[in-house]
Structures are given as structure tokens and as C-alpha cells.
Structure 1
Amino acid sequence: MPADANSYPSGRARRMRVLALTLLVIAGTVNYLDRSALSIGNSSIRGSLHLSDAEMGLLLSVFAIAYGVAQLPVGILIDRYGPRRLMSIGLLLWSGAQICGGLVTGLGQFVVARAALGIGESPMYLAGTKVCSNWFQARARALPIGLFNASSALGPAIAPPILTTLMLTFGWRSMFVIIGVAGLAIAILWSLIYRDPDQYGITPEEQRWIHDEDSPADEALTLTGWPSLFREPTTWGMALGFLGVIYLTWLYGTWLPDYLERARHLSLRQAGLWTAIPQACGFFGALLGGLAARTLGRHGMAPVASCRLPLVLAMLVTAACTAGASLVHGTSAAILLVSVALFAGSLASSCGWAMAAVATTPDKVATLEAIQNIGGSIGGALAPLVTGLVVGLTGSFTPALLLAAGIALASALIYQFGTHDRPRPAPTTT
């Protein structure tokens, strides 16, 4: 570390940190507005296009399938070419796909538009985590990643009132077009403002300071390349565990408005507005996740363990509350339990993203995030599809929620026993 390390980060670096994090939160929020549009318009779209529950479940799942397939190649490209380029391309693609979603005339066209949306959004959180790894030291990454990841809960929190109002005022097609245009505006801002450290003119000394905790002890570990990640048990534990985390958050993200309409007998407007409360709780959970991991790390807990402990506890809470929500009779009690479940699930998601930033070396962060998110995408694809099939077969959301509770419990156990801090080379003696 250079003698003047206490002067780092420089004023220029701090400004770009703030700008980058602000843009990431805004982009992530718009990202989830786009994802939420189909679930908010569920009943209207289903009626307009004459879709069954199973067909709507398939349509809700297509996004996650395409998103998951794109994860690994996109993660490798981000590690190779940097987050700025891939994020710009992704923003343009997903915004165009969202606009096209408002123009479709049948299920087949909608499937194509949702698949394009999934591919376009695939760089979002991989690139964002890479940005945080490029600009923040290892011990400081959990908080900005948590703040950025909170946009995945902020978007769904503000989506119900915003999208419901747009849909009731202009129709579901115009709702899709309007938020697609908003994404294009974010793409322009990102391309004009954000720069990776090497493009921004950060000095080599300051870049070494940023990655001081990653090197030189990690240098031996970087030589094996990203395929070595598949030989690490922790990689598989993170991927399988994240499947459960995203299954739960996507269950509520895709079916909650319809659940409130059909199982709790709320009107379309009421369901749209009440959906905002659990999603707002998810936003605060995501914020707390990064803060909890950072606090545990600052008190001496190992990096992966500081993310794992709050994640496991949160998934246990999610499992209990999801099971409870399926069994209570009162609508208010059900909304309260779903709110706690989404708070805990989003906290777990935030810790899961932070874990990948400290579980491998900087050159493989986006790739590890991609592998983990492939598991998450499988969960995201299964949740709406399985829920639609179960509801269609049984006529009830109760079995679907009980199944989700079991998956949350399995996720907690996988993270607890399947993830470990990466080994460090032994310090040399002189």
C-alpha cells in the first residue's frame, strides 16, 4: 500500500462512486418496473389475450428462463470487456423489448418479447456488482452492493401504485410502452456518465489500493481461470441456495396481485395498492442485508460467513411466514405475513449478491455472480410456472405457498452447510 494511502479514494473517485451507485439504483428500479408490468397487468392481460392460468404461468416464466440462459456468457463478457459496455447494450435491448410487449397481439409474440426482455436485463445485476468490485475495497463492498440490490425491492415496491395508475388510465399496452421509453432514457444517461476505472483515468496506485485486500495473496488463485469456479463446492452451494431465494421473491413478485384478487377477494385497484406494502418491506430488507453483512464483517467475521449468517436466518423467517400466510384466514394477517416474508427474502437476496463479491477473486466476480444467478433464474422460472400449474389444478394458492415454504427451508440449509470461505495462501515468512 502506498505511503499516502490515507488520501484514497481521491475526490474524483468518490464522485464517480456516487454517480455510479446512483445510476445503478435508478436503472435497477426501472428494471424491476419492467419486470413487474406483467404481474400487475396479470388479470387484464389474461382476459385481453384469452390466456389460462397455466399459459400465464408460462408467460411469467419465459423471462426468467431467457435471463438464466444468458447469465454465464454475459458474466464472462462483463469480466472480459467491463460493465459499462454490457450494461449499455442491455439497457437498450430490454427497453426495446418492453415497448414491443405493449404491441403484441398473441401469446407467441408476447413470449418472444419477454424472452428478449430477459436477455436484455441479464447484465444488470452482474454488471452492477462488478462496478462495486471495481470501485470499492473488499471490506466496503457489501454496503454499496446492498444499496444497489435494494433497487430490486424498490422497483416492485413503487411498481404497484405507479403501474396500476398507468394501466387504469391508459391501458396495459400503453403502460408497457411508457416504462420502456423510461428505460431508453436511463440507457442514454448511463452511456454518457459512467466510466470504468481504467476509462476514468484512475491512477494505477489508486487501483492497487482499491484491490489491496484482493492481492497479492489472491494472485495464485486468479491463474486458474473462471472454469475453476465449477470445482468449488461453494459455487454449487450458492447456485442451489439462490434458487430458493429467488423462487420465493419471484413467487410474490409475479403472483401476489392476482393472489390478493382471487384468494383475498380484493378489487384490481385494491390489490395493486396493497401489493406495494409487502414490496416496500422487501426494499427495507434489501437495505438491511448489505448493512448486516458489513457490520458482521467489521466485527471480525470472515467475509463469506458475514453474508451467510443473516442470509440463513432470513430464509428461515421467510419459510415460516410463507407457510403462515397460506393458513391464516384474515386478509390483514396474510398481508402482514407476506410483508415479513418479503422483508426477509430480500435481505437474503442482498446478502447472496454480496457473498459472490467476496467469495472469489476480482477477475471472476461477474462470472461467479452469473453462476449463482443461473440458479436464481431457475427458481425465478419455476416459481410462476409451478404456482400457475398448482393453482390451476387445485383452485387454491395454499398448496403453492406451502411448497414455497419448503423450498425456502431447503435454501437455508444449503447455504448453511454448502458454502465456505475460500482458502487463502499461507503468508510467507522472511
Structure 2
Amino acid sequence: MTDTSIQPSAPPRIRRAQQIALALLMVSGVVNYLDRGTLAVANASIRADLGLSLGQMGVLLSAFSWSYALCQLPVGALVDRIGPRWLLGFGLVVWSLAQASGGLAASFGWFVIARIALGIGEAPQFPSAARVVSNWFPLRARGTPTGIFNSASPLGTALAPLLLSILVVSFSWRWAFIVTGAAGLIVAIVWFALYRDPLRAQLSTQEVQYLDAGKEDVAAPSKVTFAEWRSLFSHGTTWGMLIGFFGSVYLNWVYLTWLPGYLTAERHMSLMHTGIAASIPFFCGFIGALTAGWFSDLITRKSSSAVVSRRNAVVIAMLGMVVFTIPGALAQSNTVALACISVVIFLANAASASSWALATAAAPPSRVASLGAIQNFGGFIGGALAPVVTGFIAQKWSFVPALLFAAAVAFVGAMAYLVLVKKPIPEQEAGVAHAPLPA
């Protein structure tokens, strides 16, 4: 194994591939979250135009999360088998067409189908990104690029109300869907034109040595089989990541889906102030993802175990989320509450970036996308439940117990990471026959 404190510089061809990959992942990620957020931004206009009830709008808001979560399991294995170039490229086309079709929706049923298709199309984004990072970056340098591609989610969320509201007000809510759908198709064309999955046979000895730095098993991964994918569930590490990410995403999605409504209903902010106030925490989340990636790499290079160091970064961030949610819920001052919420979302995105970096360290080389997708499946089951449970608790009591309950869920998730995620899942236990990386 290489010195854990020294990271060799990337050969020129690898560095160029890394820069192209990260730029494309960042752009596609921002478009991904702009598409997700269009429905929330245009909520009132859509309800008025299509005559939808609040209950129907709730179904629309949750339709995406359920299809997205359920597709994580097969998509992760497909990314490992086929490669991120084809899966993410195909996903971009599907989700962009689904997004544009939402702008053409003439009925509630059509809109539900469009949102389900959006969830299916967007499912490959993060498993593909995790596999791209594991393909093009050595083990102990994956935190920073993981933080970069994760930072697209809070950045897209923060930009959505600022950019999409202009389209909704100036034209109509339909154009907000059509324009973002067209943007996704342009990104898909650029992705197919510029990105390539690596082939070991075409890499020089220096390039292979750079990519293999820090690995105990440097044999090339094979295309994953169903038996090998299923074997991941026999490890405590997998269950710790699944349960842990459920807690992390649950608390994050309470704010993601309910923050404007919480600030208006519970904090009695005006609609104008709410729009500005709701963007501030997500810009903090953007900084959190970038900071976490850098910090995760720093402590990993000084640690004997990449898994333990990246897991500890997740646990620390999640415990911070719990600690700051409590005064955020109980504080009388809106300024104090918003400051605490900003810290929570900063840490939530730090935890997310560290969780995806953990997937690249804990997974066997052949199943990085598979393990990341399983973790993401757990997270988005939490994401699908969070707005529903929060709404029920807030309706029956108030947002305070809803936020405290979310903090408790996040605490349980942090303990799952701490107790169950202890070591990487070895490649050889699955009996993988080594072959070249997917083309």
C-alpha cells in the first residue's frame, strides 16, 4: 500500500479526464435539482391552472421520490455492469423528456406519470457519479471530487427559486418545465460527446499506478452479476450505510420540502422574505459539500483506514445536524432559527458528500455504484417519508415536535453508521473474476 500521507499528482491525461468528468457531473447535477425543484417553485400556479387540491399536489410532490428511491437498487447494479457513460447519458435523456412533458401536462394523471418518469430518469445521477469518481480518482483522493459533484444538489436547490420564478412570472409555469427539459437534453449531448469510461488496456503504466494508489487489491473490477450485487446485503457495512443515510436524508428533506412553509406558517415571515430566507441555508449547503470533500480527503490521508475516517466524518456531521436542529426548532428569534437551520443544511450536505465518498471506499471495486445506490435507496425512502410525516405531525401539533422527531431519526442514523460500518467489503468474498473496466 502507498504512503497514506502522500498523494501522487495525476498524470496529464488523467487530470484532463478528471476535470471534464467533474465539470459535466456538476452541470448535470445542477440541472437535476432544478428539474426536481420546478414543481415546488410553480406550485401555486399549477394548482390554479389545473384545479388541483392540496391532496393532489401532495401526491405530485411525492411521486418523484418513490420512483427515484425504488429505481436506486437496479440502477446501481446497471451502472456497475454497463458503465456510467451510457447509464447517466440515457438517464439525462429520459428525465429531460419527462421534465418537458410535465410542461405539456393537461391533467393530474399525466402530471403524475411525468413525475414518476422524472424519478426513473434521474436515478442514475449519483450512482454514476460515484462510479466516475472511483474510476478516475485514487482511493485517498475521492473526497474532494465527491464533494464537488454533491455540491450540485444544494446549489441547484438554491438557484431554483431565483431562476425558475423568473420563467413562471414572465411566461408561465409550463415554460419553466420546457426550458429546463431542453437544458437537460443539451447536457446529455455534451456528456455523450466528451465523457468516456476508462479502459485499463488503454492506460499507461504510470496512469494505472496512479489510479491504484492506496488500494490493497489492485486487480481490475469485473462486470457485476446479480449474485455479487445481492451479496452486499450480507455485510453489516451495507446495512449501516442504508439505515444511516435514511436518517441523514430524512432530516435534510424535512427542510428541503417544508422550509418555505415552515418559515411562513410557524415563523410568520412574509412571502417575499421567505423566498430570500429559504435560499440562504442551501447556499450554505453548497459550501458544506465542498468543505466536506476536502476535509474528508485530509483526514483520510492521515488515517490507516479510509473507511473509518470517512465514516467518522459522516457521523460527526450528522451529530452536528441533530445538535443544531434542537435550538433551531425551539428558538424564539427568527434570526437565530435561520442561523441554526443554515448550519444544519451545511452539515447535511457535508454528511451527504462524506457518505458518497464512504461508498467509494467501502465498496468492492466492481460494485461501487451498487453500494452507493443501496445507500441512496435508504436515503430516499427517508426522503419520501419526511414530508408526509412532517406534515402530519405539524398539522396535529406543530412544527416543533416534527423537527425534534426528525432530529431523533438522524441520531439513530448516525449510530447506525458508527456501529455497523467498520471495514470495507472485500472483493474476493463474492468470487469476482477480474476483467477490464466497462467500455
Contact 2:221/2:366 (<8 A) preserved: no
* Alignment-derived partner of residue 248 in structure 2: 245
Gaps of 5+ in 2: 2-6, 429-439
* Alignment-derived partner of residue 29 in structure 1: 30
* Alignment-derived partner of residue 418 in structure 1: 420
Whether 1:235 and 2:241 are equivalent positions in the alignment is no
- Give the distance between the partners of 1:186 and 1:94, measured in 2 at CA: 12
- Give the distance between the partners of 1:24 and 1:213, measured in 2 at CA: 24
Pairing of 1:184-223 with structure 2 (within 5 A): 184-198=185-199, 201-203=202-204, 206-207=207-208, 209-216=210-217
Pairing of 1:41-56 with structure 2 (within 5 A): 41-56=42-57
* Alignment-derived partner of residue 114 in structure 1: 115
* Alignment-derived partner of residue 125 in structure 1: 126
Alignment CA distance shift 1:226-1:289 (3 Å):
same
* Alignment-derived partner of residue 401 in structure 1: 403
* Alignment-derived partner of residue 142 in structure 1: 143
Alignment CA distance shift 1:53-1:393 (3 Å):
farther
Contact 1:164/1:269 (<8 A) preserved: no
* Alignment-derived partner of residue 328 in structure 1: 331
Deviations 1:317-350 (A, max 9, x none): 2122223222223322222121111011111111
Contact 1:20/1:194 (<8 A) preserved: yes
- Give the distance between the partners of 1:268 and 1:45, measured in 2 at CA: 18
Alignment CA distance shift 1:55-1:136 (3 Å):
same
Aligned-pair CA distance for 1:211: 2.6
Aligned-pair CA distance for 1:405: 1.4
Aligned-pair CA distance for 1:253: 1.6
Contact 2:47/2:57 (<8 A) preserved: yes
- Give the distance between the partners of 1:425 and 1:385, measured in 2 at CA: 39
Contact 2:26/2:152 (<8 A) preserved: yes
Aligned-pair CA distance for 1:256: 1.6
- Give the distance between the partners of 2:184 and 2:243, measured in 1 at CA: 31
Gaps of 5+ in 1: none
Greater alpha carbon shift after TM alignment, 20-29 vs 8-17: 8-17
Contact 1:40/1:272 (<8 A) preserved: no
- Give the distance between the partners of 2:324 and 2:44, measured in 1 at CA: 26
- Give the distance between the partners of 2:8 and 2:145, measured in 1 at CA: 20
Contact 2:363/2:425 (<8 A) preserved: no
Paired residue type of 1:290: G
Paired residue type of 2:85: R
Paired residue type of 2:28: A
Paired residue type of 1:409: F
Greater alpha carbon shift after TM alignment, 153-162 vs 415-424: 415-424
Pairing of 1:280-319 with structure 2 (within 5 A): 280-319=283-322
Aligned-pair CA distance for 1:265: 3.2
Contact 1:92/1:183 (<8 A) preserved: yes
* Alignment-derived partner of residue 273 in structure 1: 276
Alignment CA distance shift 1:388-1:174 (3 Å):
farther
Contact 1:218/1:425 (<8 A) preserved: no
Aligned-pair CA distance for 1:217: 6.6
Greater alpha carbon shift after TM alignment, 226-235 vs 212-221: 212-221
* Alignment-derived partner of residue 15 in structure 1: 16
Contact 1:315/1:348 (<8 A) preserved: yes
TM-score, normalized by length of structure 1?
A: 0.90
Contact 2:237/2:425 (<8 A) preserved: no
Paired residue type of 1:100: S
- Give the distance between the partners of 2:53 and 2:401, measured in 1 at CA: 19
- Give the distance between the partners of 1:392 and 1:108, measured in 2 at CA: 27
* Alignment-derived partner of residue 151 in structure 1: 152
- Secondary structure at 1:421's aligned position in 2? coil
- Give the distance between the partners of 1:217 and 1:311, measured in 2 at CA: 26
Alignment CA distance shift 1:217-1:81 (3 Å):
closer
- Give the distance between the partners of 2:427 and 2:360, measured in 1 at CA: 19
Greater alpha carbon shift after TM alignment, 40-49 vs 403-412: 40-49
Contact 1:152/1:283 (<8 A) preserved: yes
Paired residue type of 1:156: T
- Give the distance between the partners of 1:212 and 1:7, measured in 2 at CA: 8
Contact 1:322/1:402 (<8 A) preserved: yes
Alignment CA distance shift 1:418-1:215 (3 Å):
closer
* Alignment-derived partner of residue 181 in structure 1: 182
Contact 2:310/2:355 (<8 A) preserved: yes
* Alignment-derived partner of residue 97 in structure 1: 98
Equivalent pairs: percent with the same residue?
44
- Give the distance between the partners of 1:172 and 1:218, measured in 2 at CA: 51
Please report the RMSD computed on the Cα atoms of aligned residues, expressed in angstroms. Answer: 2.6
Alignment CA distance shift 1:7-1:318 (3 Å):
closer
Aligned-pair CA distance for 1:79: 0.6
Alignment CA distance shift 1:96-1:316 (3 Å):
same
